[in-house]
Amino acid sequence: MDCGNGARARQHVFLLPEYLKDASKKMKSGLIFVKLVNPCSGEGTIYLFNMCQQQLFEIKVFKEKHHSWFINQSVQSGGLLHFATPMDPLFLLLHYLRKTGKEGKFQPLNQVVVDDMFPNCILLLKLPDLEKLLRHVTEEKEIDKKKYYKYSKEKTIKWLEKKVHQTVSALKINNINVSARVQANAFFSGDQVSSDKEEDYIRYAHGLISDYIPKELSDDLAKYLKLPETSASLPNPPSKKVKLSDEPVEAKEDYTKFNRKDLKTEKKNSKMTAAQKALAKVDKSGMKSIDSFFATKN
Amino acid sequence: MESSDEVAVEKCRVHLRPGTLRDAACATLHLLPCEVQVNGPAPVERFFTPAIRQGPDGLEVSFRGRRLRGEEVVVPPGLVGYVTVMEEKGEVPVGKDFSERSSNEDEREEQELAEPPEALERDFDQFIGATASFRRFTLWGLETIPGPDAKVRGALTWPSLAAAIHAQVPED
């Protein structure tokens, strides 16, 4: 967050869930932006807490070169669009559980979620139904009515597998094209394409979930899901760095495809709402990182 | 107050004033396909708005002599757009208190049900408020309307996908 550097106040453009507006009637305070650890990268990232209804939101920023906003009678450089979407707090808790899990001991939660770098992590302990959530990823013990938890990798992987399948359903509903690249054999065998489809969805969903878990766990999950290792024809970038450098290449290919298509389909689509259009034709580049929804890397 | 600025940033909480979400007036937003390096007032109503025409395939306007084509983009269902501004820190306490607070003052009485703000607000925290809201904005492209592959459109599909990724999974 930048803290308003003087003369011109910086304006942020946000998309927030509508129910925050309704909920605001009853609250005087309780919507808080804080910096917490990013469970994938380990770096600091801004999250939004709704302390009244006890929800966690992640903040994603759409950022592309060469954009600016006109907001009423003002101009705002950058053209950033911030999204606040509900986040499963278990991804953040998992970061701490795995860290203390290495000690192999059962511990109370307030000794697990401790962070000198990001002291606001204690807000996580105020979220509701933590006990129920933690059952997905930990073994627990109760001594003198106090709960003690220990990270369980087996349970975590199973939980993540459910997340992947849940995401696959959403990808299908939203009609998001997940095929990484057109393969040569797609031209020759129709069967091949359809049988690969489910695996493409799983790989794509695995990539999305991997943005919320550390690399190590992502690799374990890939093995569990029996996703093939990186192969020549269908690269499944093993690390973020590879993904990033991979993106522009994929994007370029697709832009050319789309530009041609655009001209023909533009009129036909003009009856759909923008949202429908967006849903119907999202990126066809098979990018898996969430970043692909928000920013160009070149 | 923290001794080191960096520590303060990590510990800092930015409170979004809930009342401002309700009262934010509707704003007109345009997303331009170019970078204007300044933040500040601009006579949009004088130069830009009156030049917008309805062409055969969407809206047309020009900016700095370049032709732009655009269309209205609706905020995805379940979401509301807000423009927010960080409140100035205590440096100019008088200006802040009188300009920002006046509208909040009356609300305060309605909010007798205020939940205990215990420990949520600290004196080094900052505040942010919504100054305007929107349900749609105009997306502009240079010469052509940004296509279905435009990054913005991709980003607008994110909330529906995020909902699935973060929904609770059933217990065994």
pLDDT, tens digit, 9 for 90 and up, residues B147-158: 988 999 999 999
Region of residue A168 (left: phi > 0; alpha: psi -120 to 50; beta: else): alpha
Among residues of chain A, what percentage have pLDDT more than 70? 70
User: Across the interface, which of A58, A70, A120 has its CB nearest the CB of B32?
Assistant: A70
Q: Do A73 and B44 touch (CB under 8 A)?
A: yes
Q: In the prediction, which pLDDT does A288 show?
A: 59
pLDDT greater at residue A77 or residue B112:
A77
Q: Report the distance separating Cα A85 and Cα A97, nearest Å.
A: 24
Q: Do B169 and A170 touch (CB under 8 A)?
A: no
Residues β-bridged to residue B82 = A14, B133
Does residue A87 register a pLDDT over 90?
yes
Among positive and negative, which fits the CA dihedral B69, B71, B75, B77? negative
Rg (CA), chain A: 22
Does residue A234 register a pLDDT over 60?
no
Q: Do A67 and B33 touch (CB under 8 A)?
A: yes
Q: Residues B103-133, buried b or exposed e (16+ Cβ, 10 A)?
A: eeeebeeebeeeeeeeebeeeebbbbbbbbb
* Residue spans of chain B under pLDDT 50: 1-7, 91-117
Q: How far is A30 from chain B (nearest CA, A)?
A: 7
Segment among A164-173, A175-184, A207-216, A264-273 with least mean pLDDT: A264-273
A178: Cβ–Cβ under 8 A, 6 or more apart, which residues?
A171, A200, A201, A203, A204, A286
Instruction: Judge whether A228 and A236 are in contact, CB under 8 Å.
Output: yes
B5, B28, B88, B165: best mutation site toward chain A, by most A Cβ within 10 Å?
Answer: B165
pLDDT, tens digit, 9 for 90 and up, residues A51-70: 888 899 999 999 999 999 99
Q: In the prediction, which pLDDT does A153 show?
A: 93
Q: How far is CA A157 from the centre of its chain?
A: 18
Residue B101's SS3 state is helix
A173: Cβ–Cβ under 8 A, 6 or more apart, which residues?
none
Q: Report the distance separating Cα B48 and Cα B42, nearest Å.
A: 10
Q: How far is A8 from chain B (nearest CA, A)?
A: 6
Mean pLDDT, rounded, for A184-206: 67
Write out chain A residues lying below 8 Å of B14, CB-based. Answer: 1, 32-34
Q: In the prediction, which pLDDT does B123 show?
A: 77
Does residue A125 register a pLDDT over 50?
yes
Q: Do A70 and B169 touch (CB under 8 A)?
A: no
Which residue in chain A has the smallest CA separation from B13?
A34
User: Across the interface, which of B13, B139, B147 has its CB nearest the CB of A259?
Assistant: B147
* Amino acid in the structure at residue A149: Y
Q: Report the distance separating Cα B157 and Cα B167, nearest Å.
A: 16
Q: Do A135 and B171 touch (CB under 8 A)?
A: yes
Q: Report the distance separating Cα B44 and Cα B138, nearest Å.
A: 13
Instruction: Judge whether B31 and B138 are in contact, CB under 8 Å.
Output: yes
Q: At A258, is the pLDDT very low, low, confident or very high (cuts 50, 70, 90)?
A: very low
B71, B115, B161: best mutation site toward chain A, by most A Cβ within 10 Å?
Answer: B161
Q: In the prediction, which pLDDT does A176 show?
A: 80
Distances in whole angstroms, Cα of residue B158 to Cα of each of A76, A86, A208: 23, 11, 11
Q: At A121, is the pLDDT very low, low, confident or very high (cuts 50, 70, 90)?
A: very high
User: Across the interface, which of B12, B148, B168 has its CB nearest the CB of A281?
Assistant: B148
Q: In the prediction, which pLDDT does A180 show?
A: 55
Half-sphere exposure of B82 (CA within 13 A, CB side): 27
User: Across the interface, which of A15, A77, A133 has its CB nearest the CB of B35?
Assistant: A77
Write out chain A residues lying below 8 Å of B156, CB-based. Answer: 274-275, 278
pLDDT, tens digit, 9 for 90 and up, residues B13-23: 899 999 999 98
Q: Do A68 and B36 touch (CB under 8 A)?
A: yes
Q: Do A274 and B71 touch (CB under 8 A)?
A: yes
Nearest partner of A290 among A212, A173, A192, judged by Cα:
A212
* Amino acid in the structure at residue B67: R
B169, B171, B172: best mutation site toward chain A, by most A Cβ within 10 Å?
Answer: B169
Q: Report the distance separating Cα B99 and Cα B87, nearest Å.
A: 10
Write out chain A residues lying below 8 Å of B113, CB-based. Answer: 26
Does residue A188 register a pLDDT over 50?
yes
Q: In the prediction, which pLDDT does A236 show?
A: 46
User: Across the interface, which of B72, B86, B152 has its CB nearest the CB of A9?
Assistant: B86
Q: How far is A124 from chain B (nearest CA, A)?
A: 13
**Mean pLDDT over each residue of chain A, to the nearest integer:** 77
Instruction: Judge whether A58 and A85 are in contact, CB under 8 Å.
Output: yes
pLDDT, tens digit, 9 for 90 and up, residues A140-185: 999 998 999 999 999 999 999 999 999 999 998 887 877 655 455 5
Q: Do B21 and A16 touch (CB under 8 A)?
A: yes
Half-sphere exposure of A298 (CA within 13 A, CB side): 9
Q: Among all chains, which residue has been given the structure tokens 């909010």?
A: B111
Q: In the prediction, which pLDDT does A275 show?
A: 52
